Amino acid sequence: MKIQLQNCQFDFEQRFQLKDINWQIQAGQHWVITGANGSGKSALVATLAGFGDKIAGTVEGLVESVAIVSFEAQAALIERERKKDDADILDVIAVGTAVHEILAEGDVNASIVEDLVEKFALKYLLDRPFRALSTGETRKVLLIHALATEPKLLLLDEPFDGLDADTLIMLQRYLAELSHSVSIVMVLNRCDEIPQFITHLGYMRAATLAHSVARADESAYRELFQLLHLETSDLQIPPTADSSAKALLNPDQPLVVLNDIGVKYDQLKVLENFNWQIDSGQHWQLCGPNGSGKTAILSLITGDHPQCYSNDIFVFGFNRGNGESIWQIKQFIGYVSTALQWEYRVGTSLRNVIVSGFYDSIGLYSKATDKQRKIADQWLALLGMEQRADQSFNKLSFGDQRLLLIARAMVKHPPLLILDEPCLGLDDINRQLVLALIEKICAAGLCTVLYVNHHSEDTIAGIENYKNIEKNSTNID
């Protein structure tokens, strides 16, 4: 068996379209398709059963012997039974189709039905009307019927949803055995449910198959698995061992106020009459081309720019130039940039990189407390790196290093987290990893996020405030 979709577009009743689909399934492969809600993963798998109108591209190798279990198939069967119950139309008292009749429909293997009814412990409801079943019982009946048709290709859309723990384990074992003779394609939302027999992973984003990797490609699979872990994990942003900075802030005051700011270098004006206020709890995206003044604005906020004292700047309760130190300002800020990553070239462990955020140091030169180590391990679990806690930071990929540095910046729950071009230099999947982590931080509501990038269209869920700077450098007359 070889199924190939090339440059395909599919339309689903003008409600949804898949686009630019390129996908190949070889004999012996078993796939999981995953992605965010609404990304098109269920629609993609449904095309293998002939659903959707192909409006572009070529499809080769679709097999006739296909069984599909999905929410749509479940809803269609329930709707069919509902029509039987419409006494006004039928002029009869309808009792609906019994479960044992549903299971006998079509070309099914009766011995498989009997075996699975026993395994699913459904014998007690064989005589019940199908519509009288619970959602979980309905899903079990559909699974039994699909498996009993002995398909060559089995399509399962969230097969483990609604199943109790014992049934889930039983079904996973059954599918593992079945995988020796049947090709299986699944839709799953949770990465921790991916069975061991799965050989390939596909990731849907914005109605296209954005990534597809073989499980044997350990590096690529780990990156995609991390992305799924961040997007689907129930883990929350870990607590902090140090909340002293936040306690010093007046909650009624803005974090940052820039009044009529001007920045110039010799005879060149970079910023002129620039105004901005950042309130606690607001998340901002600051955009603009190279040379527009983004870096100057950040350094004015952090206190690293020499012209911060010649401008009207209010930060974290301080009116700049009234005797405050730069460290009094920096205690309220978490900062990540490519420049920081270049500087962070020490061979310390991943755990210690995160702990170093408590001390604002590059490397760790103080003994970590038990609480700090525990929090660092919770961050590693969130990032899907808990098995690599003692690995050296400089052995990580560029993308994993960026994730660690964001965790390091967040470990104290700073009132303001500045992420300066955090996706710079990253490939697409590592970019998605970083954006997924930022979304999780925004959703936690523990700090104010200032996300800086070049592209205003590169939006992040949770960031609703935008500041776009046009390049306006001019010579001073």
What per-residue confidence (pLDDT) applies to 94? 58
Q: Once rounded to an integer, what is the mean pLDDT over residues 14-35?
A: 93
Among residues 197, 232, 267, the one where a domain terminates is: 232
Angstrom distance (rounded) from CA 300 to CA 405: 22
Would the pLDDT of 90 be above 60? Answer: no
Q: Once rounded to an integer, what is the mean pLDDT over residues 423-452?
A: 89
What per-residue confidence (pLDDT) applies to 476? 46
> Does 278 map to a domain?
yes
The number of beta carbons lying within 10 Å of the beta carbon of residue 404 is 24
> Does 254 lie in the same domain as 164?
no
> Does 339 lie in the same domain as 197?
no
> Does 241 map to a domain?
no
What per-residue confidence (pLDDT) applies to 465? 94
Would the pLDDT of 95 be above 70? Answer: no
pLDDT tens, position by position, 155-191 = 999 898 877 778 888 999 999 999 999 999 999 887 7
Among residues 210, 232, 254, the one where a domain terminates is: 232
Q: Which of 73-87, 147-161, 283-297, 386-400 has the highest mean pLDDT?
A: 147-161
Residue 373: both structure tokens together: 């180590």
What is the pLDDT confidence band of residue 132, given thresholds at 50, 70 and 90?
confident
Q: Once rounded to an integer, what is the mean pLDDT over residues 5-30?
A: 93
3-class DSSP assignment, residue 20: strand
- Closest of 213, 181, 208 to residue 194, by C-alpha: 213
> Does 202 map to a domain?
yes
> Does 291 map to a domain?
yes
The number of beta carbons lying within 10 Å of the beta carbon of residue 129 is 18
What per-residue confidence (pLDDT) applies to 477? 41
- Per DSSP, the residues of 233-293 read --PPPP--S--HHHHTS-TTS-SEEEEEEEEEETTEEEEEEEEEEE-TT--EEEE--TTSS
Angstrom distance (rounded) from CA 163 to CA 158: 10
Do the Cβ atoms of 274 and 293 come closer than 8 Å? yes
Beta pairing partners, 34: 203
CA of residue 190 relative to chain centroid, distance: 10
Q: Once rounded to an integer, what is the mean pLDDT over residues 284-309?
A: 86
> Does 190 lie in the same domain as 113?
yes
Angstrom distance (rounded) from CA 412 to CA 158: 38
Enumerate long-range contacts of 41-44, CB under 8 Å, 24 or more apart. 41/187, 41/202, 41/204, 42/70, 42/71, 42/72, 42/157, 42/187, 43/10, 43/12, 43/16, 43/18, 43/207, 44/18, 44/202, 44/204, 44/209
What is the pLDDT confidence band of residue 368, given thresholds at 50, 70 and 90?
confident
> Does 239 map to a domain?
no
Q: pTM of the prediction?
A: 0.75
Angstrom distance (rounded) from CA 344 to CA 386: 21
What's the number of domains the chain is made of? 2
> Does 287 lie in the same domain as 166?
no
Would the pLDDT of 80 be above 90? Answer: no
The beta strands (E) that lie in 327-421 are given as 333-337, 416-420
pLDDT tens, position by position, 339-360 = 888 888 778 899 999 999 988 8
What per-residue confidence (pLDDT) applies to 460? 86
What per-residue confidence (pLDDT) applies to 474? 55
> Does 169 lie in the same domain as 227?
yes
> Does 250 lie in the same domain as 226?
no
> Does 283 lie in the same domain as 212?
no
Chain length of the chain: 477
What is the pLDDT confidence band of residue 457, given thresholds at 50, 70 and 90?
low
Would the pLDDT of 252 be above 50? Answer: yes
Among residues 232, 266, 281, the one where a domain terminates is: 232
What is the pLDDT confidence band of residue 109, given thresholds at 50, 70 and 90?
very high
Q: What is the mean pLDDT of the chain?
A: 87
For β-strands 268-278 and 66-69, DSSP reports them as: unpaired
> Does 198 lie in the same domain as 227?
yes
CA of residue 91 relative to chain centroid, distance: 51
Burial class of 116 by CB neighbour count within 10 A (0 to 12, 13 to 18, 19+)? buried
Q: Once rounded to an integer, what is the mean pLDDT over residues 225-250?
A: 79
pLDDT tens, position by position, 370-422 = 999 999 999 999 998 988 999 998 888 888 899 999 999 999 999 999 999 88
> Does 179 lie in the same domain as 32?
yes
> Does 283 lie in the same domain as 224?
no
Do the Cβ atoms of 214 and 208 come closer than 8 Å? no
What per-residue confidence (pLDDT) applies to 116? 94
Q: What is the CA radius of gyration of the chain?
A: 28
- Per DSSP, the residues of 136-186 read HHHHHHHHHHHHHT--SEEEEESTTTT--HHHHHHHHHHHHHHTTTSEEEE
Q: Once rounded to an integer, what is the mean pLDDT over residues 315-320?
A: 86
> Does 150 map to a domain?
yes
Q: Once rounded to an integer, what is the mean pLDDT over residues 307-326?
A: 82
> Does 44 lie in the same domain as 8?
yes
Q: Once rounded to an integer, what is the mean pLDDT over residues 134-160?
A: 91
What per-residue confidence (pLDDT) applies to 475? 44
> Does 362 map to a domain?
yes
The residue type of 50 is: G
> Does 206 lie in the same domain as 275?
no
Q: Check which CATH number belongs to the domain holding 216 and give it.
A: 3.40.50.300
> Does 254 map to a domain?
yes
Enumerate long-range contacts of 176-181, CB under 8 Å, 24 or more apart. 178/147, 178/154, 179/30
- Closest of 193, 194, 213 to residue 203, by C-alpha: 213
Please give the residue range of the domain that contains residue 190. 2-232
Q: How far apart are the first and last CA of the chain?
A: 74
Q: Once rounded to an integer, what is the mean pLDDT over residues 83-106?
A: 73
- Could you tell me which residue, 327 or 178, shows the higher pLDDT? 178
